[in-house]
Amino acid sequence: MPEGDAVHRTAARLRGALDGRVLTRSDFRVPRHATADLRGRAVLTTVSRGKHLLTRVEGGLTVHTHLRMDGIWRITPARRAAPRTGGDGVRLVLANAEWAAIGVKLGMVDLLRTAGESQVVGHLGPDLLGDDWDAAEAVRRLMREPDRTIGEALLDQRNLAGIGTIYRAETLFLSGIWPWRKVGEVADLEGAVTLARRLLDANKAHAGTVTTGDRRPGAQTWVYGRAGQPCRRCGTRISRGEMGARPQERLILWCGACQPR
C-alpha cells in the first residue's frame, strides 16, 4: 500500500493537472455514484490526508479517494483519456480541456459535501506530512493503549496518519526499538514519531524510499526489503516476520542485535 509520501506526491500531480480548471468530463464507475456529474465545475484543489486524497470542487463538493493496495491515479492528455467502457479497472475519470486524471483500481471512491469531510478522514491521527502535524498529540493517542505493541500501534492511522510497513520498519530500526515492545515501555515515543515524520518528509518530493541517504540501487534502506541480508550496522542477519491479528497481519523486518528485546 502506498505510504503517506507517495500519496502526498499523487496529490501534487492531481493539483498540477486539475486545479483551477473546469471539468469537461466526470465519469464515476462505482455503483453508488454512477449518476454523479461534476461537469462545468472548477476543481479547487486536491490535498492528501495521511493515505487519503480529497479533491475539492466548486459547489462545496469533495471527491474522496484511497489507493489501498493497487490503486493509482494516472495523468494523461485529455485526448487520450480512458474510454467510457471496458474492463480496465478504471473507477473514476476527472478531465478538463487539457488533462485527464484517471483513477485505476481505487480502493475507495466517495462523493460528499466538503463540509462533511470528517466523515471519511475525521478518525485519523495527526498527519505526518500535514501542516498541522502535532507530535505530542500522536504520542497521546499512542499512549491510549500502552500495552499494545509499538509495531502495531504505529500502523494504526487513528494514532498518526501516513506511516506504512516501510517507514515502520525503518523508524523502529533507526530508533533501536524491538517491534514487539509495548508502547508504554518505549522511552522516547516523541523521538520515534518525530523521526518517522523526518523520513517521510525527506522522501515526499521524489519517487522511491531512501532512509540511508544512499540512492544507489540496493542501498536505500536499512532493513526493509533486506530479509536474510546482513545488517548494515552490525552484520546480524535481518529478520522477517508478521505482526497483527489475522487477516490483518503485516510484514515487519528488524535487526535482532540493533533492536534488542
Catalytic residues: 2-3, 51, 250
Q: Give the DSSP letter of residue 147.
A: T
- Grid cell of 200 as nine digits: 517521510
Q: How many CB atoms lie within 10 A of CB 217?
A: 7
Buried b (16+ CB within 10 A) or exposed e, 1-32: bbbbbbbbbbbeebbebbeeeebebbbbbeee
Are 89 and 109 within 8 A, CB to CB? no
**Distance from C-alpha of 22 to C-alpha of 37, rounded to nearest angstrom:** 13
Widest pairwise Cα distance in the chain: 60
Report whether the peptide linkage leading into residue 217 is cis, meaning its omega lies within 30 degrees of zero. Answer: no
Report the Cα 98 to chain-centroid distance in Å.
28
- Grid cell of 32 as nine digits: 453508488
